[in-house]
Amino acid sequence: MSAAEFGGMGFALGVVRGARSFKVDKLGRLTGVTYEQVWRPDENTAECRRPTDDTYDALQRMVTNYLYTSGYSRPRGVTAFPEPRREKPLQHSMETCQCGFYGYYDGSNDYYKPGFVSAVVEGYGETLIGSRGFRASKARIVALRIPKHVPVPLATLIARNYPSIPLFDKFSRMVAEFPPDAGGQEVTPTSDPTFWEREA
């Protein structure tokens, strides 16, 4: 996934809709695929996972302490390892960070694996639009598809935890009733170089 696929075309106003996958934990809660943040049935706010300046400085101090306690010798004449400092503090922006909730607005679902749950989500708040989807600072689930690979007891917990969200037995039915946005680009053989290889 490139940065342009989920954040290269600019900001969106209003709500965008896209498809995505979720892992499921033992309590029947949906979590992200890469970062396992638990999704609630109502509004979700993205958490940035990039280290802060304080985290970076703490890690640097840990490395320095490790060097001291591990017997690494300092160069002759050096009485202490220098305390590394960052030249500029980390600045947070969705344009320079990869945080946010992802959704594919072309109807694909690249992260689906057996046992994952598919969904259609709406993204809003600070939202970046790319060539294949969006990243949003806030999102909510609007439709779910629980596949047969999910054990029945776990599927029952998912349905209990997300009672107001419509459930579908097929991905195609879900996206037909809750279509992802086209993002201004209809998927055609000329607009998408992977058109003939992609899953419908």
pLDDT tens string 60-103: 666 666 655 665 555 566 555 555 555 554 555 656 666 788 88
Q: Is residue 191 part of a domain?
A: no
Tell me, yes or no, whether 147 and 70 share the same domain.
no
Q: Is residue 198 part of a domain?
A: no
Structure confidence by residue, pLDDT tens digits, 149-171: 899 999 999 999 999 999 998 98
**Burial (Cβ within 10 Å: 0-12, 13-18, ≥19) of residue 47:** exposed
Do 169 and 149 meet the contact criterion of CB atoms below 8 Å apart?
A: no
**Burial (Cβ within 10 Å: 0-12, 13-18, ≥19) of residue 130:** buried
Tell me, yes or no, whether 160 and 134 share the same domain.
yes
Tell me, yes or no, whether 14 and 44 share the same domain.
yes
Whether the pLDDT of residue 174 is over 80: the answer is yes
| Cα 13 to Cα 59: distance, rounded to the nearest angstrom | 38
Find the domain containing 85 and state its range.
Answer: 51-91
Q: Which residue, among 128, 158, 127, has the nearest Cα to 143 in the 3D structure?
A: 158
Instruction: Give the domain-ending residue among 36, 63, 91.
Output: 91
Whether the pLDDT of residue 20 is over 80: the answer is yes
Tell me, yes or no, whether 25 and 104 share the same domain.
yes
Q: Is residue 68 part of a domain?
A: yes
pTM above 0.75, yes or no: no
Whether the pLDDT of residue 187 is over 60: the answer is no
Q: Is residue 16 part of a domain?
A: yes
Tell me, yes or no, whether 81 and 153 share the same domain.
no
Q: Which residue, among 181, 141, 138, 147, has the nearest Cα to 165 in the 3D structure?
A: 141
**pLDDT confidence band for 135 (50 / 70 / 90):** confident
Tell me, yes or no, whether 104 and 171 share the same domain.
yes
Q: Is residue 193 part of a domain?
A: no
Q: Is residue 190 part of a domain?
A: no
The more confident residue out of 89 and 37 is: 37
Tell me, yes or no, whether 124 and 32 share the same domain.
yes
